[in-house]
Amino acid sequence: MSSSPVEERSRAGRESAARVALVEATAQIMLDEGYAAATSRRVAAKAGVKSALVHYYFPTMDDLFVEVVRTRAEMNLQRQREALSDDEPLHALWRISSEHDARLWMEIMALANHRKAIRSEIAAYADRFRDVEESVVTLALRSHGADMAAFPPVVLSMIVAILPRMVVLEQHLGITRGHAEATAFVEQYLDRFELRKESRSDP
Amino acid sequence: MSSSPVEERSRAGRESAARVALVEATAQIMLDEGYAAATSRRVAAKAGVKSALVHYYFPTMDDLFVEVVRTRAEMNLQRQREALSDDEPLHALWRISSEHDARLWMEIMALANHRKAIRSEIAAYADRFRDVEESVVTLALRSHGADMAAFPPVVLSMIVAILPRMVVLEQHLGITRGHAEATAFVEQYLDRFELRKESRSDP
DNA sequence: GTCTATAATGCGATAGAC
DNA sequence: GTCTATCGCATTATAGAC
């Protein structure tokens, strides 16, 4: 290991500048031009290194894609953790979904449809993510004595997770119909289960 | 034109056997292996012709992809039209969404994210599709005197359209959490607005 | 309308120098 | 750890025979 003092805390060279740059460049190209455009030569150029280095860090391109999924999954789970300590975790989760880079995840899902390694990675992530979502929603509903048989928390959490992502995707395609109504509808339901009376326009 | 008597009714050679086979082969490869695998050579091989013929019918690969989108869009709009004459059009639309090839549309959307020609094509289709969905839902709600301000038809129609597609996609990725509950939830709402009392388990 | 042949480019991956 | 150089193959697209 040729770690300088500054790098010493990084885990076994997994965070060398070039490696991190390659993963980030790959995500960026996938987002901008699609997963098919993320070739070893293109990501190397964007990261400012030569393409042979891609194969030094990631023997196959699949290894690189898996690392992109892992990295972005951890980023999102971290954002989710932060949302839990929000005053209104339900609203915070909804906001995460909206800000979420839905378009990158669409690329990742399309990729996962045809690559086993990525499929397992994304499935594991989705399970962890939905775990947290469901428990937050369950808590919110319970504290309002909602009828959870008629309105299962996991369903509300799926709608809260999926609808805003779909709106983002559609907007990029030039589709806008129903978006305003869908957003208003979900927010109205969130308010119903998580509105701190003393905090709205009347502090 | 060298049309045989049988082919005479087809519009200006746009439906030659080879051309149709190429479009179908492309859709199949996109579904099975992703849009990146749909190369001129691969689709030609699958259609049983030589790759130069692909470029005879479709000067660029984008032209071919656009034709796939057009063809599948027309197929789905036709299925939708048939659903309208169903005894329970709301349930029929829900069924279409479920049977819908969500995975192919995911590929098409990923492709559309980065290719302008395909983007316009899919936007036009989505608008026509959602048009019909919305009016069917509006009719169903109105005939039950539902509160449409609190429950906008376009939102219900989005949920009815998106949720089952998402379930299909996730299932293929190995995610199952919440699927049964989501399905049951939507069906319960459909039944509420479109249940012919005399037809259920008591004919 | 369909083919053979080919040009020009880009790809993933590896060997080996430094 | 990063580079140069290269192998072998696939890609889109075109030219031109039939």
Q: Which residue has the higher pLDDT, A63 or A98?
A: A63
Please write the tens of the pLDDT for every residue from B88-115: 999 999 999 888 789 999 999 999 999 9
Contact B155 A130 (CB under 8 A): no
Q: Is the pLDDT of residue B75 over 90?
A: yes
Contact A34 B110 (CB under 8 A): yes
Tell me what pLDDT residue B11 has: 56
- C-alpha to C-alpha distance for B52 and B72, rounded to whole angstroms: 24
Name B residues 48-87 whose Cβ lies under 7 Å from strand C: 49-53, 56
Q: Which residues of B touch A175 (CB under 8 A)?
A: 123, 126-127, 130
Q: Which H helix or E strand runs over B127?
A: helix B116-142
Tell me what pLDDT residue B171 has: 95
Q: Is the pLDDT of residue A197 over 80?
A: no
Instruction: Provide the pLDDT confidence category of residue A3 given band limits of 50, 70 and 90.
Output: very low
Q: Which residue of A has its CA nearest to B166?
A: A162
Q: Is the pLDDT of residue B4 over 60?
A: no
- C-alpha to C-alpha distance for B36 and A21, rounded to whole angstroms: 25
Q: Which H helix or E strand runs over B75?
A: helix B61-84
Instruction: Provide the pLDDT confidence category of residue B25 given band limits of 50, 70 and 90.
Output: very high
Q: Which of A134, A108, A116, A82 is nearest to B182 (CA)?
A: A134
Q: How many CB atoms lie within 10 A of CB B65?
A: 25
Distance, in angstroms, between A35 CA and closest chain B CA?
A: 8
Cβ–Cβ < 8 Å for A170, B127: no
- C-alpha to C-alpha distance for A65 and A118, rounded to whole angstroms: 7
Rounded distance in angstroms from the CA atom of residue A160 to the C1' atom of nucleotide C4: 57
Q: Which residues of B touch A37 (CB under 8 A)?
A: 114
Distance, in angstroms, between B188 CA and closest chain A CA?
A: 9
Q: Is the pLDDT of residue A59 over 70?
A: yes
Rounded distance in angstroms from the CA atom of residue B145 to the C1' atom of nucleotide C9: 64
Q: Which residues of A touch B130 (CB under 8 A)?
A: 175, 177-178
Interface test with B, best of A116, A158, A176, A186 (most B CBs within 10 A): A158
Rounded distance in angstroms from the CA atom of residue A57 to the C1' atom of nucleotide D6: 20
Contact A114 B158 (CB under 8 A): no
Which residue is nearest nucleotide D11, judged by alpha carbon to C1' distance?
A: B39
CA A37 from centre of chain: 21
Q: Is the pLDDT of residue B202 over 60?
A: no
Q: Which nucleotide is nearest to A17 (CA to C1')?
A: D1
Q: Which residues of A touch B158 (CB under 8 A)?
A: 163, 166, 178, 182
Tell me what pLDDT residue B98 has: 85
Which positions of chain C lie under 7 Å from any protein Cβ?
1-5, 10-16
Question: CB-hemisphere CA count at 13 Å for B164?
Answer: 20
Contact B173 A113 (CB under 8 A): yes
Tell me what pLDDT residue B9 has: 52
Q: Is the pLDDT of residue B126 over 50?
A: yes
- 3-state DSSP of A120-185: HHHHHHHHHHHHHHHHHHHHHHHCCCCCCCCCCHHHHHHHHHHHHHHHHHHHHHCCCCCHHHHHHH
Strand C contacted by A176 CB (< 7 A): no
Q: Which residues of B touch A151 (CB under 8 A)?
A: 185
Instruction: Provide the pLDDT confidence category of residue B16 given band limits of 50, 70 and 90.
Output: very high
Q: Which residues of A touch B36 (CB under 8 A)?
A: 35-36
Tell me what pLDDT residue A100 has: 76
As a whole number, mean pLDDT of residues A27-53 equals 98
Distance, in angstroms, between A2 CA and closest chain B CA?
A: 39
Rounded distance in angstroms from the CA atom of residue A42 to the C1' atom of nucleotide C9: 14
Sign, CA dihedral A42-A44-A45-A51, equals negative
Q: Is the pLDDT of residue A14 over 80?
A: no
Strand C contacted by A53 CB (< 7 A): no
Q: Give the contacts of B149 (CB within 8 A, at least 6 positions apart).
A: none
- C-alpha to C-alpha distance for A143 and B178, rounded to whole angstroms: 21
What is the overall mean pLDDT for chain A? 90
CA A26 from centre of chain: 16
Interface test with B, best of A31, A109, A141, A172 (most B CBs within 10 A): A109
Single pTM value for the model: 0.92
Cβ–Cβ < 8 Å for A179, A170: yes
Instruction: Provide the pLDDT confidence category of residue B195 given band limits of 50, 70 and 90.
Output: confident
